[in-house]
């Protein structure tokens, strides 16, 4: 894939050492001779505070595998404050635009990694308008739908402002990629006649560096049947219902364990919920690096994927789904929509209604019966995971599609 040295500016709120797929894409471009620079926030996700080794300055630069990374400051404490979160979005727009105005003219391509707020694309729009830079956006979240799914009221003024911003961003992008096929029709409502292509996420794969091996104590899950959830622990992950269903199931299967690996805005509330309800068998591991996930997967019997019931999330394919496929373990989907259909149609596991606690409990029981008594079906599900991964989420093909746009 090595061609002429393309000069590419990548814009996204998150970047290494935060664990996101954009790190892998940038690494691939660097390896293939691209001249890459990155505009991102000072590393702070998901805690809302500065990572060790960094300072929350208005502007600073560092290096990632030879690529210059332009860092802008953030609003401390955005994890637990809606006001601070909104201010944080606005600060990125302001500081990011100032940076882009200074460096934007030297790039041939602009690549926007849209995860989280679509407002992060606005600095890129400044480069597009002023310097005519060819612009590609890779959309992971569907706005304004995601805004309402997180609890914002759909008022007339807010909806008008958001729709106009969404229309402005997509109209000014030369290439639009989405991670989920279901996003296409919604985005084309704002850009009639413009082609929207699918580029799904591929599983995050990181090499295990020897220096990292001793950063954490050895991971050892409890004896018994282990259900494991990994990733962001927020409201939309629907873990209250998951834990409630597990609690009912655990009364009849006391050797079962629910492992929740990750951090997020709802973690403390979930811990308190478990304490108040007296639910046993739930372990909150906290946040672990991406490279430790295979150890959790290997020791687990079933991997758990859950989201609240919402039209937007029925169209969404969370990145952890592809990552789970690499583990080749049965998947318990407490979810509706496209992912539930893929789990069922490809025989990867069982699914449950996100709002039906009794059904969730019964699905835990079905999965346990499968794991304990039907090793042939477990092996078949494992093979189906690998086959779906190869057919739908091939890393080389997806990166090629993202890299060869006009």
Q: Where are the domains of the chain?
A: 7-199, 210-392
Question: Residue 286: helix, strand or coil by DSSP?
Answer: strand
Interval 270-285 mean pLDDT: 95
Interval 147-160 mean pLDDT: 76
- The per-residue pLDDT for range 37-48, each reduced to its tens digit, is 999 999 998 778
Interval 274-298 mean pLDDT: 91
How far apart are the C-alpha atoms of 46 and 74, rounded to whole Å? 12
pLDDT at 212: 47
- The per-residue pLDDT for range 52-87, each reduced to its tens digit, is 889 999 999 999 999 999 999 999 888 778 788 889
Q: Which CATH number fits domain 7-199: 1.10.10.10, 3.90.650.10, 3.10.129.10, 3.40.50.2000?
A: 3.40.50.2000
Q: In the numeric block, which tokens belong to residue 310? A: 């919402």
How far apart are the C-alpha atoms of 389 and 371, rounded to whole Å? 22
Q: In the numeric block, which tokens belong to residue 302? A: 């079933």
Pairing of strands 59-64, 67-72: antiparallel
Q: DSSP string of 203-243?
A: -------GGGTTSSPPP-PPSSEEEEEES--SGGGTHHHHH
- The per-residue pLDDT for range 300-326, each reduced to its tens digit, is 999 999 998 887 777 888 888 988 999
Alpha helices in 262-356 (DSSP H): 267-277, 293-299, 311-315, 319-327, 338-345
pLDDT at 207: 40
Contact 266, 241 (CB under 8 A): no
Identical topology for domains 7-199 and 210-392: yes
- The per-residue pLDDT for range 14-36, each reduced to its tens digit, is 999 988 889 999 999 999 999 99
Residue 260's alpha-carbon distances to 10, 148, 196, 267, in angstroms, are: 32, 26, 35, 9
Q: In the numeric block, which tokens belong to residue 278? A: 């007296």
Q: Which CATH number fits domain 210-392: 1.20.58.2240, 3.30.70.980, 3.40.50.10320, 3.40.50.2000?
A: 3.40.50.2000
173, pLDDT greater than 90? yes
Categorize the per-residue pLDDT at 225 as very low, low, confident or very high, splitting at 50, 70 and 90. very high
- The per-residue pLDDT for range 84-98, each reduced to its tens digit, is 888 999 999 999 999
Q: DSSP string of 115-148?
A: -S-GGGGHHHHHHHHHH--EEEEEESS-TTHHHH
**Mean pLDDT, rounded, of the chain:** 89
- The per-residue pLDDT for range 294-306, each reduced to its tens digit, is 899 999 999 999 9
* pTM exceeds 0.85: no
Using a pLDDT cut of 70, give the percent of the chain over it: 94
């Amino acid at each position: 894939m090595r061609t002429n040295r393309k000069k590419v500016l990548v814009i996204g709120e998150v970047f290494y050492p935060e664990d996101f797929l954009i790190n892998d894409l940038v690494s691939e471009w660097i390896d293939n001779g691209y001249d890459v620079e990155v505009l991102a926030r000072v590393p702070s996700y998901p805690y809302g505070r500065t990572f060790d080794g960094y300072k929350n300055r208005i502007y600073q630069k560092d290096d990632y595998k030879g690529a210059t990374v332009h860092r802008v400051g953030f609003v401390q404490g955005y994890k637990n404050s809606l006001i601070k979160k909104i201010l944080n979005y606005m600060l990125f727009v302001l500081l990011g635009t100032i940076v882009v105005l200074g460096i934007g003219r030297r790039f041939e391509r602009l690549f926007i990694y849209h995860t989280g707020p679509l407002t992060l694309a606005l600095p890129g729009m400044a480069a597009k308008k002023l310097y005519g830079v060819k612009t590609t956006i890779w959309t992971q979240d569907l706005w304004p739908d995601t805004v309402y799914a997180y609890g914002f009221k759909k008022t007339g003024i807010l909806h008008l402002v958001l729709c106009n911003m969404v229309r402005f961003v997509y109209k000014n992008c030369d290439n639009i990629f989405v991670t989920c096929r279901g996003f296409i029709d919604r985005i084309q409502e704002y850009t009639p006649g413009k082609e929207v292509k699918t580029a799904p996420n591929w599983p995050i794969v990181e090499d295990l560096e020897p220096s990292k091996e001793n950063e954490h104590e050895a991971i050892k899950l409890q004896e018994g049947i282990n259900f494991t959830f990994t990733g962001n622990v927020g409201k939309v992950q629907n873990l209250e219902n998951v834990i409630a269903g597990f609690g009912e199931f655990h009364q009849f299967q006391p050797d079962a364990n629910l492992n929740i690996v990750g951090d997020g805005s709802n973690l403390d509330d979930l811990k308190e919920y478990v304490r108040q309800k007296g639910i046993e068998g739930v372990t909150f591991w906290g946040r672990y690096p991406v490279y430790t996930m295979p150890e959790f997967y290997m020791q687990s019997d079933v991997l758990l994927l859950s989201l609240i019931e919402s039209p937007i999330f029925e169209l969404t394919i969370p990145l952890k789904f592809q990552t789970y496929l690499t583990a080749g373990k049965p998947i318990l989907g407490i979810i509706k929509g496209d992912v539930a259909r893929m789990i069922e149609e490809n025989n990867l596991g069982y699914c449950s209604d996100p709002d039906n606690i009794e059904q969730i409990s019964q699905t835990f029981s079905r999965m346990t019966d499968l794991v304990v008594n039907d090793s042939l079906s477990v092996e078949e599900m494992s093979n189906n995971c690998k086959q779906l991964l190869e057919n739908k989420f091939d890393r080389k093909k997806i990166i090629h599609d993202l890299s060869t746009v006009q």
